[in-house]
């Protein structure tokens, strides 16, 4: 029994660490000032961010499946359809070959079921995160609410049901706070801007129109390079 728990813990830690270090590996091809050092506060923030987001997602999926079983696929299916629409729109803004667009549109939403950890477009990503994370949190809260209702109507619910649901509801926004701390303080682009203009300590506000234009421009520039 102890060995099973150890294997489960190590598997989860591997997942959290892999998703957290994914941006680090992607930036190894960029100039040094755009890279993320493996031993840095940026990496710590990434690990905390991914651990809380992915961990809360896995926790609610497991608890919900134990009680409502196959109804979990209704939430997964809805989220897949939503993120499929998002990726389809993203590919519309990209000049990738059609074959890659099809593959990315079909496969990427499976990763987005647990976290928004892969962004195929250059440029800003705040609105992509907003769309994915708002929908994720609503789903988490809804599943937690159903589980809490089940616990309140069952004579002897599992001991972990209520604290588990509360943890899910709290962990996700804490993960978002860690994400904001990363982008406001340790993201390479923010650090480079602070080097040029030390007074810049906030991410610039951006309307959807400005955001859309920035994404299209960034991808056109990347394609030309």
Q: 74-116: per-residue pLDDT in tens?
A: 999 999 999 999 999 988 888 888 898 899 999 999 989 988 8
Q: Closest Cα to residue 160, out of 55, 26, 71, 60?
A: 60
What pLDDT is recorded for position 126?
Answer: 84
Distances (CA, A) of 98 to 75, 214, 225: 29, 22, 20
Q: Which two tokens stand for residue 49?
A: 């961010």
What pLDDT is recorded for position 208?
Answer: 79
Q: Closest Cα to residue 165, out of 62, 73, 48, 12?
A: 62
What pLDDT is recorded for position 214?
Answer: 80
What pLDDT is recorded for position 196?
Answer: 46
What pLDDT is recorded for position 5?
Answer: 56
Q: Residue ranges of the domains in the chain?
A: 48-224
Distance in angstroms (rounded) separating the CA atoms of residues 16 and 51? 5
Residues 109, 114, 84: CA angle, nearest 5 degrees = 15
Q: Which two tokens stand for residue 74?
A: 């209704």
Give pTM, 2 decimals: 0.81
What pLDDT is recorded for position 157?
Answer: 86
Distances (CA, A) of 135 to 2, 171, 190, 222: 36, 15, 27, 30
What pLDDT is recorded for position 30?
Answer: 58
Q: Which residue stretches of the chain have pLDDT < 50?
A: 195-196, 198-201
Which stretch of DSSP H or E encloses residue 158? none
């Amino acid at each position: 029994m102890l060995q099973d728990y150890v294997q489960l813990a190590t598997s989860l830690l591997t997942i959290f660490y892999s998703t957290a270090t994914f941006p680090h590996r992607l930036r190894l091809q960029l100039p040094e000032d755009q890279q993320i050092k493996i031993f840095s506060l940026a990496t710590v923030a990434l690990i905390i961010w991914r651990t809380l987001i992915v961990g809360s997602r896995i926790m609610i999926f497991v608890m919900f499946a134990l009680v409502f079983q196959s109804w979990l696929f209704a939430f997964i299916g809805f989220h897949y359809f939503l993120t499929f629409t998002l990726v389809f729109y993203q590919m519309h803004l990209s000049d990738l070959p059609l074959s890659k667009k099809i593959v990315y549109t079909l496969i990427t939403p499976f990763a987005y079921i647990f976290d928004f950890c892969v962004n195929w477009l250059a440029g800003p990503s705040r609105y992509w995160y907003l769309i994915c994370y708002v929908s994720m949190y609503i789903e988490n809260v809804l599943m937690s609410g159903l589980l809490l209702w089940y616990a309140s109507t069952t004579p002897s619910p599992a001991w972990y049901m209520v604290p588990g649901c509360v943890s899910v509801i709290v962990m996700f926004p804490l993960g978002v706070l860690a994400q904001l701390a990363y982008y406001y303080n340790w993201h390479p682009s923010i650090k480079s801007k602070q080097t040029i203009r030390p007074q810049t300590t906030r991410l610039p506000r951006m309307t959807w129109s400005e955001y859309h234009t920035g994404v299209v421009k960034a991808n056109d520039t990347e394609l030309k390079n």
